[in-house]
Amino acid sequence: MKNLIAVIAISIASFSCAQQQPAKETAKKQDLPFKKIEKTESEWKKQLSDFEYYVLREKGTERAFTSELLSNKKEGTYVCNACALPLFTSDTKFKSGTGWPSFYEPINEVNVAEEDDRAYGMVRTEVLCARCDGHLGHVFPDGPAPTGLRYCINGASLKFEEKK
């Protein structure tokens, strides 16, 4: 009987995981209000530092609580560190306690793309810059109102432009 209960529990858990909504599809090139940036890996390596390349192009992650942008409280815009596309505003930044800059919504939904990330034996939603496909971080459904989302973003993926 215990084995039957275990099999049922595993089946239910597997089914509920499979029912998670997939990440929204990346907008088609013709639907974007900007031109996609496509560079070779050697061009990206010339433009970015080794660490920025690791995060943005190889989908790396910076250590928690190491980004200077984490404690930034200035007003302004956070743009992609690879292509300068505006991604988030300081108005949507919040202290999540996770160790990475966190935002509850992008500056414009079309500026970020999402893909399923199945690395490390789990399903997460990866967030990418829609113009250059740079890895930004992940989005989770545990953020504050009004969206309930937490865009957990690597500081190395961002540049901050202070409001003047």
Active site (annotated) includes residue 17:
no
For residues 74 and 55, give the distance between their C-alpha atoms in angstroms, rounded to a whole number.
Answer: 24
CB 60 within 8 A of CB 135: yes
Which of 22, 155, 163, 159 lies closest to 78, judged by CA?
A: 159
Q: Where are the beta strands (DSSP E) in 7-148?
A: 76-80, 86-89, 93-94, 102-103, 112-117, 124-129, 135-140
HSE value, Cβ hemisphere, 13 Å, CA-based, for 126: 22
Q: Which of 80, 83, 132, 152 is catalytic?
A: 152
Catalytically active residues, by annotation: 152
